Structure 1
Amino acid sequence: MTAGKRARLERIGTDDTYVIIPMDHGITMGAVKGLKDIEATIDAVTSGGADAVLTQRGIAGRVHPNKNDAGYITHLNGSTTIGPDEQDKRTTGTVEDAIRAGADAVSFHINVGSQYEPEQIEELSELTTEASQYGLPVLAMAYARGPDIDSENEDYNESVGHAVRLAEELGADIVKTGYTGSAETFQHVVESTSLPVVIAGGSKGTDEDTVRMVRGTMDAGASGVSMGRSIFQHDEPEKIARAVSAVVHDDATTEEALREAGLAVEA
């Protein structure tokens, strides 16, 4: 690893653990709650301990003045929920675009098992090659999604493990994927790659659900989270970011993290 890549990885993490808040959802879902005044949300989550925020490059000018010295990741593909197929992610920028936007890293989404997998494999491979020329880390969002993949099946963790291994094989530096439901099943996913593994958050649940999922992730040996809606759509995004950061960075229990963040602990 080059000195430049190592330096940039340090900007988006803390001691090789990561609390990343993706807010690229504006291209996918529109200006949903938490994204209209994205400046305030970015200030809140980074004040709460997030290591980095992630957006499409067009939002970069709204990110930098509000991120409190946190890292910045530019996402380079996307799709919409109102388009013909949300899994058909299309390229939205280049490595040079990301550098001009002030990015410390780039990210790219791939749906392993979908009909779009072949093209997305080629595009991710090309991206990691280009990014390596600049010492720019690549976060691969590698999900197991497709007609033959069912998250309710017993072998779902094997499909997710395949997805994260694919990301490593294609040259990514960090890999994000979906949680498989328990520390026991997610351990297989973590062991499937030597890359740092971070989990997606998905739709917002209760505070305890969110933090308990993060605790299970870390117990499985993962390196952190890349959680969007469950944090930026929270009524108090700074507090939930602080709770998640306490688990990832300080090894807090679920109850400790909620209490220290000032969030209610369910009876």
Structure 2
Amino acid sequence: MTVGVTARLDRIGTDGRIVNVPMDHGITLGAVDGLRRIEATIDAVTRGGADSVLTQKGIAPRVHPNKNGAGYIVHLNASTTTGPDTNDKRLTGTVTEAIRAGADAVSLHVNVGSDSEPQQLEQLAQVTRTAAEYGMPVLAMTYARGPGVDESDPERLAHAVRLAEEAGADVAKTAYSGDAASYERVTEATSLPVIMAGGDPEGNEATLENVRGAMDAGAAGVSIGRTVFQHDDPEAMTRAVTAVVHDDRSVDDALDRAEL
């Protein structure tokens, strides 16, 4: 790992742990609640303790004035819910465009087991190759998704995060398997930091239980989007997640701390 990658990883996390709030959903879902006035949401989650936020490159001008010193990740592929295949992620940006947008890292989504997996593997290889030239960290969002694929199967998830390492990424993000014991098989499948994806909104306690379980299983943090940015109080929800990830609090303590 080069000094540039190390320095930039420090900007998207704290002491090796990461609380990231992805807000690239506008390209996938449209201007949903929490993203219409994305400036206010970015301000809220970073005041709540998020180490970094993530968007597509075009939102960069709305990010920088409102992120309160937090790190910034630019996502490089996408699909929409109105298209023919939501698993078919296509490139929307490049590493050099992300650098021009002021990014501290880039991310790319791969659906392992989908019909479009081969193209996405090529995308990830291309991104990691270019990113290495610039000392830019790569967050690989590797999910178990596709026809007949169990998206919470720990063996499938373990394969997904190992794929991220094999392709040259620096951090792997994947879904939660449902409990700490099975998620250990995921975090132990790679030497990379593994961060847990949030998934569909589940409510405060259920979300924090998943965060607690992932951290107990050896995760390095979380990347939670809709459960945070669509919350009635995004700042408070971020504060609760941060209490678990960075302060090793219990779910009850985190809820109390955030007054949720």
Q: TM-score range by the shorter chain?
A: over 0.9
1:6-155 → structure 2 map (5 Å cutoff): 6-151=6-151
In 1, the alpha carbon distance for the partners of 2:144 and 2:5 equals 27
Counterpart of 2:30, as a letter, is G
Counterpart of 2:223, as a letter, is S
Maintained 8 Å contact 2:195/2:223? yes
Report the TM-score, using the length of structure 2 for normalisation.
Answer: 0.99
Residue 187 of structure 2 is matched in structure 1 by 190
Q: Deviations over 1:29-64 (max 9, x none)?
A: 000000000000000000000000000000000000
In 1, the alpha carbon distance for the partners of 2:103 and 2:209 equals 31
* Residue 210 of structure 1, aligned match among 203, 207, 210: 207
C-alpha deviation, 1:149, in angstroms: 1.1
Q: Deviations over 1:193-230 (max 9, x none)?
A: 00000011112111101111100000000000000000
C-alpha deviation, 1:239, in angstroms: 0.3
In 2, the alpha carbon distance for the partners of 1:18 and 1:245 equals 9
Cα RMSD of the aligned pairs, angstroms, is 0.7
| Structure 2 residue matching 1:133: 3-state secondary structure | helix
Counterpart of 1:223, as a letter, is A
In 1, the alpha carbon distance for the partners of 2:164 and 2:136 equals 16
In 1, the alpha carbon distance for the partners of 2:46 and 2:130 equals 29
C-alpha deviation, 1:2, in angstroms: 1.2
Counterpart of 1:234, as a letter, is H
C-alpha deviation, 1:15, in angstroms: 0.4
Structure 2 unpaired stretches of 5+: none
C-alpha deviation, 1:124, in angstroms: 0.2
Residue 234 of structure 2 is matched in structure 1 by 237
C-alpha deviation, 1:28, in angstroms: 0.1
Residue 201 of structure 1 is matched in structure 2 by 198
C-alpha deviation, 1:151, in angstroms: 3.8
| Structure 1 residue matching 2:206: 3-state secondary structure | helix
Q: Deviations over 1:63-109 (max 9, x none)?
A: 00000000000000000001111001000011000000000000000
In 1, the alpha carbon distance for the partners of 2:246 and 2:13 equals 10
Residue 256 of structure 1 is matched in structure 2 by 253
Counterpart of 2:81, as a letter, is T
* Residue 164 of structure 1, aligned match among 154, 161, 165: 161
Calculate percent identity across the aligned residue pairs.
64
| Structure 1 residue matching 2:134: 3-state secondary structure | coil
Residue 220 of structure 1 is matched in structure 2 by 217
In 2, the alpha carbon distance for the partners of 1:83 and 1:119 equals 17
Counterpart of 1:252, as a letter, is R
In 2, the alpha carbon distance for the partners of 1:148 and 1:235 equals 35
Structure 1 unpaired stretches of 5+: none
In 2, the alpha carbon distance for the partners of 1:71 and 1:236 equals 21
Counterpart of 1:25, as a letter, is H
In 2, the alpha carbon distance for the partners of 1:180 and 1:15 equals 25
| Runs (4+) off by over 4 Å | none
